[in-house]
């Protein structure tokens, strides 16, 4: 099976690296890898945000700020890849050509960002499209996609299913808020829609949810193209 898993940087690479969670994810990838084309995309987390913020305060260009953030995601990817061990490809791809090549070599490919202006959600969607993935799993810090920000609104309801169109409307609705409830971006959603990639949003703080999604069990929110 061809699978892409997107792990939010804030899950593992937060104030400190969550060694316990990192170890558990690495174990799951080693145990469940079936020899297909698997790609794990890792975000930057708070460390990347701190570097980017410092770069902005120094007056660096936005493109250079993006490049700095990308480098941090690749460092995070290298840490996770090394933790997985010999079932992970030793190289971190920096473009889609490298991703396609590495993913045919019988190992899990772990990667960070690709180029300025792209979120790791968009990168995950591109990776899924590039390897013709049957499933894209997005591990976040909430149980899935809600009707509102569950951290702010106690009335928010978890959605079992939602369409790409509906999620795009939510992005517009929350785009004006500081610290907005943002689980995707328009670029990533457009790629998911055009390639009709089955996408699942789940709570990555419980690694058992990832195991369920990999086994095809219902968990989190199904995002319909």
Residue 173's domain is classified under what CATH number?
3.40.1160.10
Q: Give CA separation, 79 vs 9, 83, 210, in Å.
A: 12, 6, 19
User: What pTM was estimated for this model as a whole?
Assistant: 0.91
Q: Give CA separation, 105 vs 8, 35, 75, 108, 127, in Å.
A: 25, 9, 22, 9, 16
Average pLDDT, consecutive stretches of 10 residues, N- to C-terminus, the chain (225 residues): 93 88 96 96 88 89 88 95 96 97 97 88 94 95 86 87 86 47 77 92 95 94 90
pLDDT of res. 146: 87
Segments forming the whole domain that contains residue 60: 3-224
Neighbours of 168 (CB within 10 A): 16
Number of domains in the chain: 1
């Amino acid at each position: 099976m061809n699978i892409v898993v997107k792990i939010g940087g804030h899950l593992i690479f937060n104030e400190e690296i969550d060694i316990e969670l990192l170890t558990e994810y690495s174990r799951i990838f080693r145990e469940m890898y079936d020899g297909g084309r698997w790609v794990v995309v890792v975000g930057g987390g708070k460390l990347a945000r701190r570097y980017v913020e410092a770069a902005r305060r120094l007056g660096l260009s936005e493109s250079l700020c993006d490049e700095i953030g990308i480098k941090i995601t690749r460092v995070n990817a290298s840490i996770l890849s090394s933790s997985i061990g010999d079932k992970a490809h030793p190289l971190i791809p920096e473009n889609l050509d490298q991703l396609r090549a590495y993913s045919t070599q019988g190992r899990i490919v772990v990667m960070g960002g690709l180029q300025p202006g792209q979120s790791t959600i968009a990168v995950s969607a591109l990776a899924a499209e590039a390897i013709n993935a049957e499933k894209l799993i997005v591990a976040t810090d909430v149980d899935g996609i809600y009707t509102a920000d569950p951290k702010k609104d106690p009335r928010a309801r978890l959605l079992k299913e939602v369409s790409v169109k509906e999620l795009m409307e939510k992005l517009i609705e929350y785009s004006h808020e500081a610290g907005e409830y943002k689980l995707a971006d328009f670029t990533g959603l457009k790629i998911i829609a055009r390639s009709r990639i089955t996408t699942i949003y789940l709570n990555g703080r419980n690694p058992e949810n990832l195991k369920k999604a990999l086994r095809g069990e219902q968990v989190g929110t199904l995002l319909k193209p």
